[in-house]
Amino acid sequence: MMLLIDAGNTRIKFGWVERQSGRRETAALTLDHAALDRFPRWLAQLPAPPVAALGVNVAGASICAAIESCLALHACPIAWVTSGSEALGVRNRYQSPDQLGADRWVSMLALAQRAQDARAGQTTGREPESALMLASFGTATTIDTLSPHLSFEGGLILPGPELMRISLAQATANLPQARGETTAYPTDTHGAIATGIAAAQAGAVLRQWLIGLEHYGRAPRIYSAGGGWPIVQQETLALLAAAQTRLGLPITAIEWLAAPVLDGLARLACEQ
């Protein structure tokens, strides 16, 4: 059994995979940084002792050291994944591939697996292939595109929904940390802030979708992830549906991915 670790800016997700069978955890363990002391208890309850760990870390050196110290007590070595120019048939088009966040890169490997599974499942004909987009709403929001030929094209980084909310409250004299509802024309401050945040996030998703539609001649398939998705889900779906209707395209769902980084790590672990 190999552990899978996604150390993010705010939270850490833990999973596992059996390399021979591909069997995975039923639900990942998600901990805030301050709750990392709960990790050893979860580790002790695993079906089998892990022989090694594979992870990505964008949380900094102190979190990295804390995880490594805990794993050392269980004689479990860890390898930290970094971004490269190519892996598992996916090409990285970043100008300096090593500057791409490892979490974003590994998530693209997970998306590529979905594209490859879809191709393998086609039984009649061959529909034109679509680009894939992953909109991940965490501390930062990232919106990345994988081409039909499994090339990571690049993407956006912007403050996540909660970070937008906090920054408005901290950097202004009179604005609260709003918890309002999104409306077409907000008539109170909480609603204005909540709607502005959702509109900014949804607008960024729609921008990338429209660029993908024009560039590839076919609408990208969109996936979502991250704890901020419920904050912007309604606005994003409504904006996308309005654009699809105006363009005469079918209304398509945005598929939720619970742990794309862990999915990508599992793929790396099983195919190394």
Q: Decide: helix, strand or coil at residue 259.
A: coil
Contacts of 68 (CB under 8 A, 6+ apart): 78
- The answer to the question of whether 102 is labelled as a binding residue is yes
* Residue 103 falls in the annotated catalytic set: yes
Q: Check the annotation: does 26 bind a ligand.
A: no
State how far the Cα of 8 lies from the Cα of 26, in Å rounded to an integer.
20
End-to-end, the C-alpha distance of the chain in Å comes to: 14
Catalytic site residue from 32, 37, 98, 103: 103
Determine whether the annotation assigns residue 145 to a binding site: no
Residue 196 annotated as part of some ligand binding site: no
- Ligand-binding site membership of 199 (annotated): no
Is 117 part of any known ligand binding site? no
Three-state secondary-structure class, residue 20: coil
Say if CB 265 and CB 24 are below 8 A apart. no
Is 264 labelled a binding residue?
no
Does 13 show up as a binding residue in the annotation? yes
Binding residues: 6-13, 94, 101-104, 139, 189
Binding residues for substrate: 94, 101-104, 189
Binding residues for ATP: 6-13, 139
Give catalytic residue positions: 103
